[in-house]
Structure 1
Amino acid sequence: MAATIVGMLAVTITFLCGVWAVLYGVLLFFDVSPASSIAAGLTALTVVSIGYLEYRQIDTIERLADADCVDEATEPELYELVTRVAAQLDVPVPTVALSDRQTPEALAVGFRPHNVHLVLSRGTLNTIDERAELEAVIAHELSHVKNRDAMVMTALSLPVILARGLGTRLADIEKPGAAVVAIVPLGLLSTLVWGTGKAMTARLSRAREQAADRAAVAVTGSPTVLATALTKLDQSISETPNRDLREASGISSLSILPLEPDELEKVMLGPDGNREPSYWGLRKRLNRFERWLFRTHPPTNERIEQLAAYERQQERRSPS
């Protein structure tokens, strides 16, 4: 984590200095003064704009999850379970939001522990039919709250968010004209920062998922229960149509398991549907490389193996 924080600070400083330098150069080219102050102001405005978007994170995520808040009167058993797990982890009881989607989704969103929403889908509640297993899933998500993962990951993702936002806006410019002198270097800079930052945060995210698994085991006392829940959710995701997974892709990195198909979807071409897409072999390899580089969760089988190792450790420590 320390190495990632230092690395992301370096990436952030490089990005902001790069944006300032490009804007400064363009302003000098057009003989606008004071160029340095205006460039600094535009750079600061970008940061403030992204900060506002992050402040609205909860509403955005719940909209992507198509979830609505429910109260204790509506879901008394679920609230009782969430309240008990929150007490065990010594975190504030989150607001519970439910989605009617059948895609298995479970995530905790919120920058501060006192403003966290636990988002679950009906698909998760239908898949996890055992109370102990649902408790383990909730414990995993609230462990992220205990560990301040949302705050850490959001802060560390700042350069990635900035770079993606800048790149998207640059790509939307249809007739750049003379502004191309700024668009090209800014586009290259945003792409480089986005790729570097996303790879670094993905590596840290994988570590935080494993930490949340360990914390959930400490709460429930049974690695097997969490492993069973992950197995059921993974199987349900593999059976979910790719169309439904694409709809949930906006929250994939935040959910307990990634909501993505294992392989790139192959759509045959031609009048008879018998022609393979161009460069299909290369596209599959690139997709696998991208998934490996930007994977936000450890492979589910590795998590289950790690939980099995915890179970064996518990058995060795327990009195015969």
Structure 2
Amino acid sequence: MSGFRTTMLLAALTALFMGLGYTLGGSGGAMIALVVAAGMNLFTYWNADKIVLSMHGAREVDEQSAPDFVGLVRQLAMRAGLPMPRVYIIDSPHPNAFATGRNPQNAAVAATTGLLAMLNRDEIAGVMAHELGHVRNRDTLVMTMTATIAGAISMLANFGMFFGHDRERGGNMLATIAAMLIAPFAAMIVQLAISRTREYGADRAGAEISGKPRALASALAKLAQGAERVPNPVAEANPAAAALYIVPALSGRGGDSLFSTHPDTGNRIAALEEMAVRMGGQPAMPGSASVPVSRKRRSALDPLGRG
């Protein structure tokens, strides 16, 4: 269902682009805008992982520097049938995580030290399984396609401001101006809708990969509260990066609204609880997801020994 919805939203973006081009009537300008937008997003597609990781000051870790964390990701990747991704840690108290890379063969996953200090092992496994779910579902490719079309719409609208509408078609100037103002806004709404749809899919995939839906639900509850309290300088400076994370990175931006980057956390938790029942899972037992990770284990997860 989420795949069908994403396809329909991508189709809506494409129709929006074609409709704007028709309204403006500038076929030459539309082609230039599309080529430039495609070129920009092609560059982003090939270099997105480097850009995002550098933006966050992420450092790559391995079995020597973070044995527990990397070992956990390796185990989850094997269960998901994926190549081992590169693993990064971000030195930030803001608790969050994300995946990046153009395909499973070039993927990277990252978590903040705030997340590693806040969650126990089962919850961390749920979070990283969620990120591997994004990789397996090729969400980075979907979002790149979305960004390409939405970028073309915005650029075409900007061109329209300069070149106007096709007078040979007798277009209405007010309609043209309205289209130039409304189309980029509508494209943004569709982008956010696609982002929310992909989060539900990654939650399902993460629960399947980890085998513990309730651990992921517990992690989402903790992370949503923690991310609300602790600011994220990267997301504040670059709001477009907010859709990357497993929970909203901007205060007051969650909740299934048109302008939210993520589904409501409560709805996500409810869906995971239903999934746990279908999988025949029982409430977390002592010593599992309900017990905080030991200081020794947490030190292994965080090479800096924080928390």
Secondary structure (helix, strand or coil) at the match of 1:13 reads helix
Change (3 A) 1:257 1:64: same
Change (3 A) 1:93 1:15: farther
Q: Which amino acid aligns with 2:67?
A: P
Q: 1:222 aligns with which of 192, 206, 212?
A: 212
Q: How does 1:184-199 map to 2 (within 5 A)?
A: 189=179, 191-199=181-189
Q: Given the two structures, how large is their TM-score scaled by the length of structure 1? A: 0.72
Q: 1:4 aligns with which of 6, 9, 13?
A: 9
Please say if 1:13 is aligned against 2:8.
no
Comparing 204-213 and 134-143, the one that deviates more: 204-213
Whole-Å separation in 1 of the counterparts to 2:146 and 2:234: 29
Long gaps (5+) in structure 2: 166-172, 283-307
Q: 2:141 aligns with which of 151, 156, 181?
A: 151
Q: In the TM superposition, what whole-angstrom CA distance separates every residue of 1:120-170 from its partner, at most 9, and x where no partner exists?
A: 111111111x11110110000100111111111221232223345677x88
Give the fraction of aligned pairs with identical amino acids, expressed as a percent.
26
- Contact 1:136–1:217 (CA under 8 A) maintained in structure 2: yes
Change (3 A) 1:191 1:117: farther
Q: Which amino acid aligns with 2:263?
A: P
Change (3 A) 1:40 1:110: same
- Contact 2:99–2:131 (CA under 8 A) maintained in structure 1: yes
Aligned to 1:51: 42
Long gaps (5+) in structure 1: 25-35, 171-178, 264-287
Please say if 1:299 is aligned against 2:267.
no
Secondary structure (helix, strand or coil) at the match of 1:69 reads strand
Q: In the TM superposition, what whole-angstrom CA distance separates every residue of 1:193-238 from its partner, at most 9, and x where no partner exists?
A: 3222222232232222112111222122222111111111112112
Q: Which amino acid aligns with 2:14?
A: L
Please say if 1:182 is aligned against 2:163.
yes
Q: Which amino acid aligns with 2:75?
A: R
Please say if 1:136 is aligned against 2:126.
yes
Change (3 A) 1:211 1:72: same
Q: How does 1:109-124 map to 2 (within 5 A)?
A: 109-124=100-115
Secondary structure (helix, strand or coil) at the match of 1:293 reads coil
Q: Which amino acid aligns with 1:123?
A: G
Aligned to 1:87: 78
Q: In the TM superposition, what whole-angstrom CA distance separates every residue of 1:52-73 from its partner, at most 9, and x where no partner exists?
A: 2332211221133221222332
Whole-Å separation in 1 of the counterparts to 2:196 and 2:213: 18
Equivalent residues, number: 268
Q: Given the two structures, how large is their TM-score scaled by the length of structure 2? A: 0.75
Secondary structure (helix, strand or coil) at the match of 2:110 reads strand
Please say if 1:312 is aligned against 2:277.
yes
Change (3 A) 1:213 1:18: same
- Contact 2:103–2:141 (CA under 8 A) maintained in structure 1: yes
Change (3 A) 1:91 1:15: farther
Change (3 A) 1:11 1:138: same
Whole-Å separation in 2 of the counterparts to 1:15 and 1:166: 8
Q: How does 1:204-283 map to 2 (within 5 A)?
A: 204-241=194-231, 246-247=236-237, 249-262=239-252
Whole-Å separation in 2 of the counterparts to 1:6 and 1:241: 35
Whose Rg is larger?
1
Structure with larger RCO (C-alpha < 8 A, sep 6+):
2
Change (3 A) 1:7 1:233: same
